[in-house]
């Protein structure tokens, strides 16, 4: 489903196109927060619909701020959905169709099985100290300067080690022949199911 049906009468084609370009990023943001592709899709649709309505009312003064404007709407939508999800409701009081269910994880929704396998293989080929360094970065969320404070190693050296290690992982992640950053499309539903390549 695209925005065209909703927006055709009130929003210019250029605006719709600009909003559609934000869709992959919104999807990523929503999956990270909501954990499932289906819930994320719902959040993205709701966000874009609200954005179209707001733009039709001229609520955005500076067009350059469109991503920030849409990201703000997305945050509200996601928080609303999280509140609804965790509201304490007895299951017995709900019809079976309305029972909460779980879906495969956010990681699976965002990263293909084969991309993960390639990254895993590349990780194993790194030295233990580089893996430890990446753990401090991506598990503990530390910046090189913070790691330097903790370990005593110069921040610049940490930055270089991390950069070299990440270059190897990035190469593995994208696989042979795929251009870097050329497509940020998320795995399709079919690809998620099969672990296959993106179209």
Please report whether residue 144 would count as binding other proteins according to CB under 8 A. Answer: yes
Verify binding: residue 140, other proteins, rule CB under 8 A: yes
Among 14, 84, 95, 101, binds other proteins (CB under 8 A): 101
Binding region for other proteins (CB under 8 A) out of 5-13, 49-57, 81-89, 188-196: 81-89
Interacting residue with other proteins among 131, 155, 168, 188 (CB under 8 A)? 131
Cα dihedral across residues 29, 32, 37, 43: positive or negative:
negative
Q: How far is the C-alpha of 4 from the C-alpha of 9, rounded, in Å? A: 9
Instruction: Find the shortest distance in angstroms from Cβ 67 to other proteins.
Output: 4
Q: Are 117 and 175 in contact (CB under 8 A)?
A: no
Residue number, 5 or 86, with CB nearest to other proteins: 86
Q: Which of 183, 190, 193, 194 binds other proteins (CB under 8 A)?
A: 183
> What one-character DSSP code corresponds to residue 153?
S
Rounded Cα distance between 37 and 128, Å, is: 34
Does residue 144 contact residue 159 with C-beta atoms inside 8 Å?
yes
Near other proteins by CB under 8 A, which window of 4-12, 53-61, 165-173, 191-199? 165-173
* Single residue of 8, 13, 107, 193 touching other proteins by CB under 8 A: 107
At its nearest, how many Å lie between other proteins and the CB of residue 9? 25
Structure token pair of residue 140 = 């503990």
CB-nearer residue toward other proteins: 58 or 86:
86
Task: Output the 3-class SS for 37-97.
Answer: HHHHHHHHHHHHHHHHHHHHCCCCCCHHHHHHHHHHHHHHHHHHHHHHHHCCCCHHHCCHH
């Amino acid at each position: 489903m695209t925005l065209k049906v909703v927006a055709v009468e009130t929003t210019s084609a250029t605006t719709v196109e600009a909003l559609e370009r934000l869709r992959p990023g919104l999807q990523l943001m929503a999956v990270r927060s909501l954990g499932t592709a289906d819930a994320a899709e719902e959040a993205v649709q709701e966000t874009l619909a609200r954005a179209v309505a707001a733009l039709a009312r001229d609520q955005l003064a500076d067009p350059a701020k469109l991503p920030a404007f849409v990201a703000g709407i997305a945050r509200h939508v996601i928080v609303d959905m999280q509140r609804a999800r965790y509201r304490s409701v007895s299951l017995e009081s709900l019809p079976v169709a309305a029972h909460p269910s779980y879906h495969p994880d956010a990681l699976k929704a965002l990263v293909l099985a084969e991309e993960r396998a390639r990254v895993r293989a590349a990780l194993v080929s790194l030295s233990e100290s580089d893996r430890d360094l990446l753990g401090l970065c991506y598990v503990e969320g530390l910046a090189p300067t913070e790691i330097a404070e903790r370990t005593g190693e110069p921040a610049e050296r940490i930055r270089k080690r991390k950069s070299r290690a990440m270059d190897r992982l990035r190469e593995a992640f994208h696989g042979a022949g795929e251009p870097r950053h050329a497509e940020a499309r998320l795995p399709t539903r079919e690809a998620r199911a099969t672990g296959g390549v993106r179209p």
